[in-house]
A and B are shown apart, each in its own frame.
Chain A
Amino acid sequence: MIKYERFTLDNGLRVLVHEDETTPLAAVNLLYDVGSRDEDAEKTGFAHLFEHLMFEGSKNIEDFDEPLQRAGGESNAFTNNDITNYYDVLPASNLETAFWLESDRMLSLDINKESLDLQRKVVIEEFKENYLTQPFGDVWHLVSALAYKVHPYQWPTIGRNLEHIEGFKLNDVKQFFKKYYVPNNAILVVGGNVKVDQVKGLSEKWFGDIPKGKPINRLLPKEPLQTEKRVLEVHADVPGDALYKMFHMGDRNSDNFYVVDLLSDILASGNASILYRRLVKELRLFTEIEAYVTGTSDDGLLILEGKLVPGANMKKAEKALDDELDKFAQSLINERELLKVKNKQESVTVFSEVNLLHRAMNLAYYEVLGDANLINTEMDKYLAITTADVLEHSQNIFKQENSSVIYYYANKK
């Protein structure tokens, strides 16, 4: 049971406090409810570039990291399709430093053309390092664009291409900041060796006078129901062939998510999983196979990916995979198989709660999903799932017309 208290400032900033006196540390997690799904289709990658700019100093503070490091702390951030999340961990005795820094960059950024150009260069190197230099580095771009035709999940967080990143203007920065980096679009979680009253006082002091922004009305197009299987064939300089198969599924808050999340574990989590046993060990078609869900705030994907054994036939490998998936849509799975993944889920949850920063991050994430208390109740949702649920949801998603597949071939030498 993770205890927390919640209050909201007049400007709409939601604050959650999680006291834990066993640690000498404090974790400050500030989540902004904006991600790459909120980008203009012609200016993709902007939410992530913006995250970089948030470390370039604010109106009253020249540099973000330096004072935090001086306080014995460290900071980082990540951007995904749905959110941008900033976090600081520091000795609890220096908690106020994090409030000072985070509130100033919410109040007003200090971005000029030089800092924009510089972080643009850094992000271009990040793009090259992770998406152009690595074998299979372009897969995420291909997966997103094949599975989504309308919804902004069709581009990855890093951006569709380098040209978009090269094209951002200072005015884009200003508008984005004004619209999304406002207290009513943020969730602050403070955890560790702190007191609720102390956090209340600091929140009022540092965030209280930041003006509220306009309410944000997110009107994203819903991805239409897919009616035909999509196929993409790729040839690239990689050492071996790979298969990627995606199925549309529900959003992070749907019942469908919980069932398919467990199902992905049954399919391919570890060497005792069904797909590993059948496709890797028995049929020797793949050298490795994985299944995972994207868990996005709007409708997501179940993704199956496997590296083929050298010489294995792509279509045969896909057929063998389909045969295994079909079994889930045809009959009930064994009760023990379901209990096994529930036990595993329980264990994963307990271990993830050991770390203070994880607890703070999870509280913020569940709050943006709609209810911070999911941190304590989510396990019950997993436990309530029956084998009949697995059958029903498998029948709904494991249909060829709901799938997209990438045949990723190695160029012949």
Chain B
Amino acid sequence: MPIKNKLKLDRTATPPLARVEKLNVLLPEKLALPNGIPVYVFTGMQQDAVKVEWVFNAGKWYEHERLQASMTARMMKEGCKDYPSHEFNDLLDFYGATVKSSAGPDTSSFQLYSLNKHLAQVLPMIEDVIKEPLVDPRDLEIVVQANREQLKVNLMKPDYLADKLYSETLYGSTHPYGYDLELADYDNLAPEKLHSYHKEFYNASNCSIVVSGNVDSKVMKLIEREFGGADWLGDKPRVHLRKDLDSKERVSRNEVMQGSYQSALRIGKKMFNKATPDYQEFSVVNTILGGYFGSRLMSNIREEKGYTYGIYSGLSSMRHGGHLIVSTEVGVDVRQAAIDEIYAEMLRLQDEPVSQDELELVRNYMLGRLQNGLDGPFKVASMYKGLYTYELDIDYIYSLVEVINTITPERIQELANKYLDPTTMHEITVG
């Protein structure tokens, strides 16, 4: 036998695989500022850069009126008394710093990205803007005008409209998790409404801080100096009780948009949040159904039928609820065929146990993704924010690893039967 044949590579054989057995999770250092603000620190990075995130219980859940949460957060990027909008943004640019500010369903967040070398100059401005933002009426008017124009564009998009109808269907159009904006909501907005919202919720007693990146004692001293004082103590927000729509009745809505090339589909139902016992196990079921590129929905509806560019299912978690959503945009002519296939995939999970082979693939995939999501201080910090705001801790990740490694095909089938009954799914189509 000639020697070169001995060296011939067998390209059909899969190289041996190693499962991610253990995750090395960078643990938070948990501190408290003198005024009691909890601080979670994730350090260890080569780049001289830090990210500081201030988290307040000031999301939509706490609003008295629509737009208060998101617009208060938005206007915090428009400066304070000593540094009005232009000066504030100009100086941030000058120091190469970036800020992001947003309000979610439950919490609001102000994020600063800065090089270590400029932090001492940047942080005092951030202090001002967090403790006492300006909300200049003229700046507000300009921001509102831009937002209204953007909203007009969004209201012409089938996918945007479908998302809007879907959350209204689940929670009701007056609920903080359910409402989505109308143009008219901007008509009633005034600086006082944002000032009062800020005054009520943006205080030290309602704040936590996550610091990640190259965090040394110098960084921590600066944060303590600017944010550790008793000058901005306040009240913790009272827990509001919100009544959401009793959406047991199955809703099926079809909005026609003339001349549309595609239909946006949203299918799903109310579920639970990540602190609920079934959540981690169901996240495996969701991954199999539509949580990754090799999922059953993607394989069937994109890779076999070519109905869509993409289809996903996902779990949304809020403090006071959660839901399942299957979302896709398909050609108008195959809309019903796609809906039928989505339900067929749910039924298949109920009727047949997942093969060991598919389950093994999903286990490896989920563990690999988890490892990727925990790579480096920035990523661990944002994952941790999604834990402690639900009063969960790092052991949640370890228990997820355990669930991924041990869940059985029988349990998956049981969960599919419990939660994936097509007759309980709401169905929204636009286009």
Contacts A72-B365, A96-B16, A307-B149 aside, 19 further interface pairs with beta carbons under 8 A come to A67-B14, A72-B19, A72-B371, A91-B368, A118-B306, A125-B262, A125-B329, A128-B262, A128-B331, A135-B157, A239-B156, A240-B153, A272-B86, A272-B89, A288-B149, A340-B93, A343-B96, A350-B48, A351-B113
Please count how many residues in chain A sit with their CB below 8 Å of the partner chain's CB atoms.
80
- Point out the residues of chain B lying under 8 angstroms from A107, CB to CB: 11
Interface residues of B in 79-113 (CB under 8 A from A): 85-86, 88-90, 92-98, 113
Q: Are A90 and B368 in contact (CB under 8 A)?
A: yes
- Point out the residues of chain B lying under 8 angstroms from A350, CB to CB: 47-49, 115
Kindly specify which of A20-28, A168-176, A226-234 makes contact with the partner chain. Answer: A20-28
A311 to B24, CA, bound (A): 58
Q: Are B156 and A25 in contact (CB under 8 A)?
A: no
The chain B residue sitting closest to A72, CB to CB, is B368
The chain A residue sitting closest to B98, CB to CB, is A347
- Point out the residues of chain A lying under 8 angstroms from B369, CB to CB: 72, 74
Q: Are B17 and A74 in contact (CB under 8 A)?
A: no
Q: How large is the interface on B (under 10, 10 to 19, 20 to 34, 35 or more residues)?
A: 35 or more
- The yes or no answer to B384 lying at the interface (CB within 8 A) is no
Chain A 365-398 per-residue mask, 1 if CB under 8 angstroms from chain B, else 0: 0000000000000000000000000000000000
Can you list 25 A-B contacts (CB < 8 A)? A60-B11, A65-B294, A69-B294, A69-B365, A70-B364, A70-B365, A73-B368, A74-B292, A91-B368, A94-B15, A94-B18, A118-B306, A125-B306, A128-B262, A135-B157, A206-B9, A239-B149, A239-B152, A239-B153, A287-B149, A336-B94, A340-B90, A340-B93, A344-B93, A347-B96
- Point out the residues of chain A lying under 8 angstroms from B378, CB to CB: 354
- Point out the residues of chain B lying under 8 angstroms from A209, CB to CB: 9
Q: Are A71 and B17 in contact (CB under 8 A)?
A: yes
Q: Are A70 and B361 in contact (CB under 8 A)?
A: yes
- The yes or no answer to A49 lying at the interface (CB within 8 A) is no
Among candidates A67, A125, A135, A354, residue contacting B330 with C-beta atoms closer than 8 Å: A125
A35 to B101, CA, bound (A): 37
Among candidates A104, A288, A356, residue contacting B146 with C-beta atoms closer than 8 Å: A288
Q: Are B306 and A122 in contact (CB under 8 A)?
A: yes
Among candidates B11, B89, B155, residue contacting A271 with C-beta atoms closer than 8 Å: B89
Majority DSSP secondary structure for residues of B touching A: mixed
Interface residues of B in 345-379 (CB under 8 A from A): 360-361, 364-365, 367-369, 371-372, 375-376, 378
- The yes or no answer to B46 lying at the interface (CB within 8 A) is yes
Interface residues of A in 69-122 (CB under 8 A from B): 69-74, 89-91, 93-94, 96-97, 99-100, 103-104, 107, 117-122
Majority DSSP secondary structure for residues of A touching B: helix
The chain B residue sitting closest to A121, CB to CB, is B306
Q: Are A70 and B17 in contact (CB under 8 A)?
A: yes
- B200 CB to nearest A CB, Å: 26
- The yes or no answer to B389 lying at the interface (CB within 8 A) is no
Measured CB to CB, the residues of A under 8 A from B are 22-25, 59-61, 65-67, 69-74, 89-91, 93-94, 96-97, 99-100, 103-104, 107, 117-123, 125-126, 128-129, 132-136, 205-206, 209, 237-240, 269-272, 277, 280-281, 284, 287-288, 307, 309-310, 336, 339-341, 343-348, 350-351, 353-356
Q: Are A89 and B15 in contact (CB under 8 A)?
A: no
Closest 3 CB pairs of A and B: A72-B368, A347-B96, A121-B306
A270 to B293, CA, bound (A): 35
A344 to B118, CA, bound (A): 12
Q: Are A100 and B375 in contact (CB under 8 A)?
A: no
- The yes or no answer to B302 lying at the interface (CB within 8 A) is yes
The chain A residue sitting closest to B378, CB to CB, is A354
- The yes or no answer to B20 lying at the interface (CB within 8 A) is yes
Among candidates A136, A339, A346, A347, residue contacting B153 with C-beta atoms closer than 8 Å: A136
- Point out the residues of chain A lying under 8 angstroms from B17, CB to CB: 70-71, 94, 97
Q: Are A122 and B96 in contact (CB under 8 A)?
A: no
A132 to B17, CA, bound (A): 43
Q: Are A24 and B146 in contact (CB under 8 A)?
A: no
Among candidates B96, B361, B368, residue contacting A346 with C-beta atoms closer than 8 Å: B96
- Point out the residues of chain A lying under 8 angstroms from B303, CB to CB: 118
A72 to B401, CA, bound (A): 13
Q: Are B367 and A72 in contact (CB under 8 A)?
A: yes
The chain A residue sitting closest to B257, CB to CB, is A133
Chain B 220-243 per-residue mask, 1 if CB under 8 angstroms from chain A, else 0: 000000000000000000000000
Q: Are B361 and A23 in contact (CB under 8 A)?
A: no
